[in-house]
Amino acid sequence: MNVFTCNGCDYQSMTAKYVCPKCRQGKFETREVSSKGTVYSFTDIHIAPAEFAGIAPYTVALVQLDEANVKVTTRMALGVQIGDCVELDRIEDGAFLYKGV
């Protein structure tokens, strides 16, 4: 998957900014990294808005990527714990769907 890295400092992000929020000068370049990472935290969403009610309960996990100083918000099946090793299963409707390695 793609992450964005500042060409002026060590700031990295899942999303590109107009200017680097850390050094305020650098511009962003894309870098391809492995989707593999570790669950940093999560929640199991039982009460969901109408558009997601059909798939509730589901887990939203914040994943720390192995190959970049970047966290990515993902959706997973229930049963996740902090520290689990995970990877991208597929991208669906703009969401990163992750699964255990």
Partner 1 sequence: MTDVYVHGIGMTQFGTFVDRTMKDLLLDACVQALEDAGNPRVDAVFIGNFMGGAIYNQEILGAIVANELGLGFIPTAKVEGACASGGIAVRQGVLGILSGEYDTVLVAGVEKMKHASTADVTQAINAAMDNDSNEKHAGLTFPGFFGVLANRYFYETGASKKHLAMVALKNREHALNNPLAQFQKATTLDEIMGARIITNPLGLFDCSPMTDGAAAVVISREKSSVHIRSSAQASGPTQMQDADDLLSIPAIGESGRMAYEKAGVGPGDIDVVEIHDCFSMTELLAIEELGFFNKREGWKAIEEGRTKATGDKPVNTSGGLLSRGHPIGATGVAQIYQLVRQLRGTAVNQVDGARLALAQNLGGTGSYSTVHILERV
Could you list the residues that contact Zn ion (CB under 5 A)? 6, 8-9, 11, 20, 22-23, 26
How many residues of this chain interact with partner 1, rule: CB under 8 A? Answer: 31
CA 35, chain centre distance (Å): 9
Give whichever of 24 and 46 is closer to partner 1, judged by the CB atom: 46
Q: Does 34 interact with partner 1 (rule: CB under 8 A)?
A: no
Give whichever of 8 and 84 is closer to Zn ion, judged by the CB atom: 8
> Which residues are near partner 1 by CB under 8 A?
13-15, 40-50, 52-53, 55, 58, 60, 62, 70-75, 82, 93-96
